[in-house]
């Protein structure tokens, strides 16, 4: 898992109540710290929780979707 290819989905977090916003941010922070500390199993658990619930965005997938949607495609 390369967490450098993901970022926190701020738009999804904006929809939450204040307490839940803090909780998601804590999960994200704990994921990053766990990963940097070499605790990969813990980082993976946080990652899966955040990703499956829409709080992480895959940079590569976002770029592919932009191309396929025509936003960044080459017009002939």
One digit per residue, the tens of pLDDT, for the chain of length 76 reads 789 999 999 999 999 999 999 999 999 999 999 999 999 999 999 999 999 999 999 988 777 777 777 655 555 4
Q: Check residue 69 and give its pLDDT.
A: 76
Number of domains present in the structure of the chain: 1
The reply to whether 76 falls in a domain is: no
The two beta strands, 56-58 and 6-8, are antiparallel
Q: 10 is in which domain, residue-wise?
A: 3-68
Token duo for residue 15:
């929809």
| pLDDT at residue number 6 | 95
Asked if residue 32 is part of any domain, the answer here is yes
Q: Is residue 28 part of a domain?
A: yes
Predicted TM-score of the model (pTM): 0.79
Residue 39 lies in a domain: yes
């Amino acid at each position: 898992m390369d967490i450098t290819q993901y970022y926190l989905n701020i738009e999804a977090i904006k929809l939450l109540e204040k307490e839940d916003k803090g909780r998601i941010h804590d999960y994200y922070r704990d994921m990053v710290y766990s990963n940097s500390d070499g605790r990969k199993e813990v980082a993976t658990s946080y990652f899966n929780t955040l990703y499956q619930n829409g709080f992480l965005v895959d940079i590569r997938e976002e770029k592919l979707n932009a191309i396929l949607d025509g936003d960044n495609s080459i017009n002939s």
